[in-house]
Amino acid sequence: MKTTNIFPLTFVAAKLLLLPSASTAFVSPSKQMFATTKHMKSMDSAPLAVSLSSDVSIESDTSAAISAAQKQKELEQFPRTKLAHLPTPLEYCPRLSEALNGVNIYIKRDDCTGLATGGNKARKLEWLMAEAVEQGAEYVMTQGATQSNHCRQTAAAAAKLGLKCHILLEERVKGDADYNENGNVMLDDLFGASREKRGPNLDMAAELEAVAEEYRKKGHNVYVIPGGGSNPTGALGYVNCAYELVQQIEEQGIPVDHICHATGSTGTQAGLVTGLKACCSTIPLLGYGVRFAKDIQEAKVFTLAKATAEKIGMPDCVDAEDVVVDSNYVGPGYGTPAESTIEAIRMFAELEGLLLDPVYSAKGAAGLIDYCRKGHFKPGENVVYLHTGGAVALHGYLHYFQK
């Protein structure tokens, strides 16, 4: 019977050279036996965003990992409560890699953070909820779209910590009964949160603050969490993730050429770029936008990245050119899947048993797939896709998958 080797050829050497450590959740099959990789970013004129190559030695990656470990300790100055299962795995995807022209695809499994089925917001909430508790909050309040993953995880975190949670849900997308009551909305209720609805195109930050003020006038101590948990405190979760990922990359011996992910409320990308630059990693980061145009999203991310860098005491570590967004995969609009979104969901499920959500992770994955097909990510390169979770939202989009 003929067998097919679906791993990179260097897998055997990798197994001989590497042993798993306490912080290594998955041993990579791609320890590359060469001395240099490329991590120097440049923009081209094509609308698809980036052309990336580099000239940085393996020793440089080791230095970044050492720096990341030191920087992680510095984050201990900020209050934090344990909500997430960390570190999340860094998982090689052989069948997906084979299907995408031999680009080596690794998934940073932040869908496995544990809290309320997992997702990226658990990282942010570790710092936000600690601040709420420190301030003696009775209520935490936040806002998001109807099928908000952030609201679901905030409600769960509040339940876990014995706090009350009130949510404002914005009708950004016209949906059916499943969209309006199933998926994340059902879990919001199950975790004991109270909720209000708001129409589209409102200033949701102002709406949230107005409701919080009403509660304060009634004598309640309210801690307000912005949409997506995206402020400098929440972004610490992804500064820490960057440090964690840099160490995993070094421990597993993967010369990573690109890191990419879906970018929405900006906190994930702002934290990642700040963390990568703070520990002197030269791996380029790319965010696939899910809502706003490229220039708008880049400006929003950079603003938060600067504030986050200031918070960790490294105000000059991030430059505007470090923030790169490609918004060509938004499709019809926020929360509305394109054909490429549905293709990504099916491909990840059928090839790797991985579940994506139609709002964030699948649109980012659609960008990843297209970049591999068009040669922006080249055969043999190592690409990390950060999976932000959100599969619960699939239950709000059932009609897209009915046969």
* CB half-sphere exposure, 268, CA atoms < 13 A: 31
Angstrom distance (rounded) from CA 208 to CA 121: 19
Q: What is the DSSP string of 148-172?
A: -HHHHHHHHHHHHHT-EEEEEEE--
* Residue that the structure tokens 């997992």 belong to: 118
- Which residues contact residue 28 at a Cβ distance below 8 angstroms, ignoring those fewer than 6 apart? 14, 18, 90, 92, 106, 252, 253, 254
CA angle 101, 88, 19 (to 5 degrees): 80
Angstrom distance (rounded) from CA 158 to CA 392: 19
Helix 232-252 × helix 267-278 angle, to 10°: 50
Strands 50-53 and 40-43: antiparallel
Strands 325-326 and 90-92: unpaired
β-strand partners of 222: 139
Omega before 87 within 30 of 0, i.e. cis: yes
Q: Is 327 tagged catalytic? A: no
Alpha carbon 66 to its chain centroid, in Å, reads 23
Q: Which of 315, 239, 305 is nearest to 68 (CA)?
A: 239
Set 97, 148, 281, 361: catalytic member: 148
| DSSP-assigned letter for residue 373 | H
Angstrom distance (rounded) from CA 206 to CA 221: 18
SS3 336: strand
For the record, the structure tokens of 273 come out as: 């770029």
* Residue that the structure tokens 């990359």 belong to: 249
Catalytic residues: 148
